[in-house]
Structure 1
Amino acid sequence: MKFRFLVIIAVGLLASCNTKTIEINNPNKGKLHATKTLKLVETKKILLDADTAPKPQYIQIFKDTSGIRNFTFLNRYTNSIYFYDYNSLEFIKKITYDKEGPDGILGPMGYHIKTLDSIYVYNMPFIELFLTNGKGQVLTKKSLAGSNNLKKSPWYYRYPQYYPRTVTPFLETPKKLLFTGQFMFSVPDSIINTFKLTANIDYNMNAIEFGHGYPKELYGHGYNWNDQILTDAFLELHPDGDKLIYSFPISHDVYITSLYSEGYQKMYAGSNEAGSISSIQKEIKKTNREILGRSILGQDLYGALKYDKYRKIYYRFICRAIPDATIHTSLEEKPVGIIIMDKDFKYLGETILGIGKEWNWQNSFVTEEGLNIEYLEEDDIDEVALILKIFTVKDI
């Protein structure tokens, strides 16, 4: 927490005081016609041990060489990755990492299983990536912040910070492993053209390159988006295989780019009900938590984009505005919605699930069965199960 505080102070001092504002309109509000909706088709309850709670930081579905779909998740309390059979829901095993020593990983926050002996683990306290085997042993590691001294150097102006979740996963491409981060606060104009979001990591961990920045039309020009919720970046692979798609919270569009070059093509991917999204109308140095809260709670903000290759459709999450929110309103009270689009981003419909206190949309992923979303059962006070609700698309 102390280190995060140092970053906040540095950014606050260096950010521009001449804040301009932008209002991002939804050109298709009220004009779109729904033909599809989401239908609940299955519920899975995964029984947990006494050391494990629902709402894990990170989930990955991994198919092993025997064809078993492993439901895996990170238990930060035990420094372990748990493996369950996704079909039978039976526990298989867990891989536990030391916190200290030659195989120590102090603070794992995300991982990617390429094979059972090639597991990449992100160590958040030191902004580094470990390549490990299936026994919890470290094979090699690499800094994601260059050779900078994390306590003294303003490395965060050049390299992204990472907060991996199930909806912001590592992504496999033929040659590189992709890992997307963000700038945690309002992006200064001095770096808007140079700051890159996504690490392109060689599978052998020999080299790391960085690509794709924030669209200047959204985040440049001194616009105040001074919170990590507003500067989040959600990445998805395009079904063509050679493109990427970014979803930003403040844009009704998504941004498509090449794996191998810069530059974006915009595609509308908005909600029929979402209103305009406005930057904060205060200088950055005068932005307090109450002002940020009103901006985040009082506006519609977009979330992750997930492609369903089995049905050739996209799902885009949206957290709905609470117009009458107060300083006592929780972020978890925002209603969670899902926009459905075809492979060309043609609008098909949208569905409101409920509030974020019940629907942990950040633990969502696609399988052959449909869109899996973690559901938080209010009366599960003993936290005995991790619950997944699975949805498919049906005609209205």
Structure 2
Amino acid sequence: MINGISNFVGYYIYSDDEIYIPEGMRNTINVIDKDGKIHRKIVYDKTTQGKSTIPFNCLSFPYTPIYMINGKMYLPQSPNMGLGDRIVEDSPVTLILDSIKHSLTEFELRFPKVRSSVELRGNTLGIEMSYSQVYDGKNFIYSFFFDENLYIVSPDGKVRNQVKTRSKYVDEIYNEKKVPGDITELVRTLCTIPMYGNLIYDKYRDVYYRFVYPETKLENDNYMDIWQLGRTKFSILILDKNFEILGETLFPENIYASNLFFIRKDGLYISTSFFKNPTFSDDKLCFRRFDLIQTKK
């Protein structure tokens, strides 16, 4: 296949004639035009620090898009299982691909030790190292699912700050060592354990929204649909430009699909197309706008 691309799940549109599609099984990024013709391929296989890299996918859940800043492409990574006994300590969270110098450098930020390198090679839920990433025009901010802290990193990869942003609805992050072997029970666990989720930057109001998933009880439900759409119960932490907590809103259960959202100048939109919502319809994808309002103390 001359213009064929192997497995991929995400993309980045820089312009009509410059669309970036990373392959999921190879360290290759395809650059195509609006007609689907491949103009070039970018191969990234080893950093200037000498580490081998792994293929990545720009997913919406976790929210890890590709960013292009001043000719540099920022590539999200997962823990590199090929790093021996130091998977967590040696795996950079993001790589910087310089499209002009053709160099590949590592972010200083490594994965937090919510699971040891030994445990990562064993029986895990598969999301312990998942994270959400945003760029606010000055810094990259990271929200790890199993960590109450936010990490602020400059575009050159240096860690600037670590800020605790604990939800009032999560007393303790899930830390059980035993993972269900049955796939149905595993997905049910993913839908019920306390954890953090996507981080969004609202450039119009200069605030951040961090999704939070409190512990939830479910019985005999469609767990996979719940997981894909964003759980039955969630809250949103609202943070100012200095990452101070302005407030937290707990949303009604079974109404919103928290994985479907976008920001516009007039507010934050979250989808109401959650399959347990009484108004749900397969024929419509619906959203509701939320306004940020300062309450009196």
Q: What is the TM-score of this pair, normalised by structure 1?
A: 0.60
1:22-43 deviations in Å (ceiling 9; x for gaps): xxxxxxxxxxxxxxxxxxxxxx
SS in 1 for 2:114: helix
Max Rg structure: 1
Cα separation, 1, equivalents of 2:25 and 2:119: 29
Whose strand fraction is larger, Structure 1's or Structure 2's?
1
Cα separation, 2, equivalents of 1:264 and 1:192: 20
- Is 1:361 aligned with 2:258? yes
| Cα distance, 1:131–1:170 mapped onto 2, change above 3 Å | same
Which of these residues, 347, 369, 373, is aligned with residue 245 of structure 2? 347
Contact 2:17–2:32 (Cα < 8 Å) also in 1:
yes
SS in 1 for 2:285: strand
State the AA in 1 paired with 2:95.
A
Which of these residues, 13, 16, 26, is aligned with residue 113 of structure 1? 13
Cα separation, 2, equivalents of 1:113 and 1:340: 29
State the AA in 1 paired with 2:264.
T
**Residue 234 of structure 2 aligns with which residue?**
336
SS in 2 for 1:277: coil
State the AA in 2 paired with 1:128.
T
- Count, aligned residues: 278
Which of these residues, 253, 266, 273, is aligned with residue 376 of structure 1? 273
| Cα distance, 1:257–1:219 mapped onto 2, change above 3 Å | farther
What are the equivalent positions in structure 2 for 1:243-258 lying under 5 Å apart? 243-258=139-154
Which of these residues, 196, 204, 208, is aligned with residue 302 of structure 1? 196
Q: CA deviation at 1:314?
A: 0.8
**Residue 286 of structure 2 aligns with which residue?**
387
**Residue 134 of structure 2 aligns with which residue?**
236
- Is 1:199 aligned with 2:199? no
**Residue 69 of structure 2 aligns with which residue?**
173
Q: Percentage identity across aligned positions?
A: 21
| Cα distance, 1:263–1:160 mapped onto 2, change above 3 Å | farther
Gaps of 5+ in 1: 1-100, 147-155
Contact 1:127–1:143 (Cα < 8 Å) also in 2:
yes
State the AA in 2 paired with 1:261.
G
- Cα RMSD over matched residues? 3.3
Cα separation, 2, equivalents of 1:264 and 1:296: 31
State the AA in 1 paired with 2:272.
Y
What are the equivalent positions in structure 2 for 1:1-396 lying under 5 Å apart? 101-145=1-45, 158-159=53-54, 161-162=56-57, 164-165=59-60, 167-183=63-79, 189-203=85-99, 206-220=102-116, 222=118, 226-239=124-137, 241=138, 243-263=139-159, 265-282=161-178, 288-289=181-182, 292=186, 296-322=190-216, 324-325=217-218, 330=223, 332=226, 333-355=231-253, 358-376=255-273, 378=275, 381=281, 383-396=282-295
Contact 1:160–1:197 (Cα < 8 Å) also in 2:
no
Gaps of 5+ in 2: none
State the AA in 1 paired with 2:5.
I
| Cα distance, 1:205–1:325 mapped onto 2, change above 3 Å | farther
Contact 1:196–1:214 (Cα < 8 Å) also in 2:
yes
State the AA in 1 paired with 2:164.
Y
1:265-288 deviations in Å (ceiling 9; x for gaps): 210222122111142223xxx762
State the AA in 2 paired with 1:346.
E
| Cα distance, 1:329–1:138 mapped onto 2, change above 3 Å | closer
| Cα distance, 1:314–1:226 mapped onto 2, change above 3 Å | same
Cα separation, 1, equivalents of 2:248 and 2:233: 13
| Cα distance, 1:337–1:136 mapped onto 2, change above 3 Å | same
Please identify runs of 4+ aligned residues in structure 1 that moved more than 6 A. Answer: none
